[in-house]
Chains A and B, each alone.
Chain A
Amino acid sequence: MRLSVNNLACTRGERRIFEGVSFDLAPGEALVITGRNGAGKSSLLDILAGRLHPAAGAIRLEGAGERILPECLHYVGHRDALKSALTAEENLAFARDFLGSPALTPREALDAVGLAHAARLPVAYLSAGQRRRVALARLLVAHRPLWLLDEPTSALDTSSQETLRLILESHRESGGMIAATTHSPLFLKDAKEIKIDRIPNPPPSAGEGAERSEAGEGASSSSSFPSPGPPGHPLPQRGEG
């Protein structure tokens, strides 16, 4: 299976968030998406997950048979998609049954993220980091080749981050693909990296591509962002056209 994204652009409301994003993901590859707050990292994942429609560009999926892209991926976003009233195990059991192509049992998945002791606790009793780990355990209960992770390390302690890294690497070794947004280094082996820059408002459309091949964390000129825009990622409230 292979994912190729060509010249993608995103518009939220009337506003062009980013344009000209292109990348390829082959089995075993990982993509790290960096960029400032509000640059559109989450929007990029939302487009890949089928929640938003791209304003331009194309997403192609090869070798997936009849499945469409949302059926081939896991999405772990800012919101945990966990039901507080249900236990960790029940949440994972639901995801396993609902998503199809089951892999590990909920118990095994919780064991893998070091939360076996919390299996029978309602998720409401868990801390933010523990909730995040339950959400990440969802990656293990159903087979999906592509994992979309929106800042997966947020709220995780150091040892959990290492656990996550091992889970991600083993997913890549078995031919999986990962696209993750992050502010902190994920320490993934030779991961591709793209940096998304927010288009200054009003857009001059000078044709500055958003794709960078190397990490240039401090290199982007911050003077070209007069309006900071909404902090965090844009609210998913408005439909566009």
Chain B
Amino acid sequence: MLRSFTALLIRDLKLAARVGGSGVMGLIFFLMIVTLIPFALGPDLNLLSRIGPAILWIAALLATLIGLDRLFQADQEDGSLDLLRLSHAPLEIVVLAKVLAYWLVTGLPLAIAAPFLGLLVALSPEGMLAMVATLLVGTPALTFIGAVGAALTSSLRRGGLILAILVLPFMIPTLIFGVSAANAALGGTIPFMTPFLVLVALSLIAAVVGTVGAAAALRSGE
């Protein structure tokens, strides 16, 4: 079972790194949004640093969303999904491997890139640290929630928009607690750990619900 898991994980990482893979797409999209917003808002550093965490979080959410429709659809189209059903490992393991690979090539780079993009929105050093921490624990929740939508829309030709409509409402709590944790680190009345721990809890819940839900959607949606 572990062998199947690592085989699939490595395959997806390889695919993301190859030409036409989704490897850097999310990161570039993230960069685009975060770069555009200071131009649109004007050079008001106070304003930027106040809404900086929100900008980064919204950009991270959209960047996670942008490649999600291909998570299972690509395998559905070329028949690989049929192959993935033939393993000794249950579909939950398949989902877990694919989601982990997706997070490693989208969520993790976003968290790592956050300090550099934080410069663009005039974040203070502790704000940057808080962004890294919240994105690191918050983006798994986004990916797992999105995986359920990706599994549900895997057989639709243009499932991207439906996917976004389906999963965005469920991503809102993650967004709220992610931004409030980052803001709490910048000062304020709530301690950082309160919203941060809720964010961790959201990720853990999403990991369970998302894995089981996406596997169930793949089983029934054939």
Q: Which chain A positions have C-beta within 8 A of B18?
A: 85-86, 122
Cβ-defined contact, A83 with B15, below 8 A: yes
A99 at the interface (CB under 8 A from B): yes
Please count how many residues in chain B sit with their CB below 8 Å of the partner chain's CB atoms: 28
Q: Which residue of chain B is the closest to A51 with respect to CB atoms?
A: B222
Closest CB of chain A to B214's CB: distance in Å? 15
The residue that A70 contacts in the complex, of B14, B21, B85, B155, with Cβ under 8 A, is B85
Cβ-defined contact, B14 with A78, below 8 A: no
CA distance A49 to B7 in the complex (A): 21
Closest CB of chain A to B17's CB: distance in Å? 9
Contact stretch, chosen from B43-51, B57-65, B74-82, B193-201: B74-82
Which size bracket describes the interface of A in this complex?
20 to 34
Cβ-defined contact, A74 with B86, below 8 A: yes
Cβ-defined contact, A79 with B79, below 8 A: yes
Cβ-defined contact, A49 with B221, below 8 A: no
CA distance A84 to B74 in the complex (A): 11
Q: Which residues of A approach B to under 8 Å, CB–CB?
A: 49-52, 67, 70-71, 73-75, 77-86, 90, 94-95, 97-100, 122, 138, 144, 236-237, 239
Give per-residue flags for B201-218: 1 if the beta carbon is below 8 A from chain A beta carbons, else 0: 000000000000000000
B11 at the interface (CB under 8 A from A): yes
Q: Which chain A positions have C-beta within 8 A of B221?
A: 239
CA distance A85 to B23 in the complex (A): 13
Cβ-defined contact, B82 with A49, below 8 A: yes
Cβ-defined contact, B3 with A100, below 8 A: yes
Q: Can you give 14 contacting A-B residue pairs, CB < 8 Å?
A: A49-B86, A51-B85, A79-B77, A79-B79, A79-B82, A81-B82, A82-B78, A97-B3, A98-B83, A99-B87, A122-B18, A236-B222, A239-B220, A239-B221
For A77, A100, A122, the residue with the greatest tally of chain B CB atoms inside 10 Å of its CB is A100
B8 at the interface (CB under 8 A from A): yes
Tell me whether chain B's interface is mostly helix, strand or loop, or mixed. helix
Closest CB of chain B to A229's CB: distance in Å? 20
The residue that A50 contacts in the complex, of B78, B80, B85, with Cβ under 8 A, is B85
Contact (A83, B11) CB under 8 Å given A74-B86, A100-B88, A236-B222: yes
Cβ-defined contact, A75 with B88, below 8 A: no
Which residues 5-43 of B sit at the A interface, judged by CB distance below 8 A?
A: 6-8, 10-11, 14-15, 18-21
Closest CB of chain A to B108's CB: distance in Å? 21
For B14, B77, B82, B221, the residue with the greatest tally of chain A CB atoms inside 10 Å of its CB is B82
For B3, B83, B85, B220, the residue with the greatest tally of chain A CB atoms inside 10 Å of its CB is B83
CA distance A85 to B75 in the complex (A): 13
Cβ-defined contact, B15 with A237, below 8 A: no
Q: Which chain A positions have C-beta within 8 A of B4?
A: 97-100
CA distance A70 to B81 in the complex (A): 13
Contact (A100, B87) CB under 8 Å given A80-B79, A85-B15, A86-B18: yes
Cβ-defined contact, B80 with A49, below 8 A: no
Cβ-defined contact, A95 with B83, below 8 A: yes
Closest CB of chain A to B91's CB: distance in Å? 10
Cβ-defined contact, B7 with A94, below 8 A: yes
Contact (A75, B83) CB under 8 Å given A85-B21, A97-B3, A239-B222: yes
Q: Which chain A positions have C-beta within 8 A of B10?
A: 94
Known: A81-B82, A85-B19, A237-B155. 6 other contacts (CB 8 A): A51-B85, A79-B77, A81-B83, A85-B14, A86-B11, A98-B8
The residue that A86 contacts in the complex, of B6, B7, B14, with Cβ under 8 A, is B14
CA distance A148 to B89 in the complex (A): 20
CA distance A97 to B79 in the complex (A): 18
Closest CB of chain B to A134's CB: distance in Å? 12
